[in-house]
């Protein structure tokens, strides 16, 4: 599952960079950024693991 999420993050990052580099394709950068953030949020929620530095109750 983590591998799939990392692949999706990579793909969304490439789409975002391509959208920013190619002039006139502003919406491609916006869509790529939204998809990247959505995938990252989903991965963080789905993993259910806390970072090592944070102690919970």
Total domain count, the chain: 1
Residue 53 lies in a domain: no
Residue 40 lies in a domain: yes
Residue 36 lies in a domain: yes
Residue 52 lies in a domain: no
Residue 18 lies in a domain: yes
pLDDT at 39: 87
Residue 57 lies in a domain: no
> What pTM, to 2 d.p., does this model score?
0.50
Tokens of 29: 């950068």
Q: Are 39 and 8 in contact (CB under 8 A)?
A: yes
pLDDT tens series, the chain, 57 aa: 778 888 888 888 888 888 777 766 677 778 888 888 888 888 888 876 655 556 655
Residue 54 lies in a domain: no
Distances (CA, A) of 19 to 24, 26, 40, 50, 52: 8, 6, 19, 33, 35
């Amino acid at each position: 599952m983590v591998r799939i999420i990392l692949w999706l993050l990579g793909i969304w990052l490439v789409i975002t960079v391509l959208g920013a580099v190619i002039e006139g394709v502003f919406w491609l950068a916006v869509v790529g950024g939204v998809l990247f953030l959505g995938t990252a949020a989903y991965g963080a929620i789905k993993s259910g693991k806390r970072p090592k530095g944070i102690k919970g109750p």
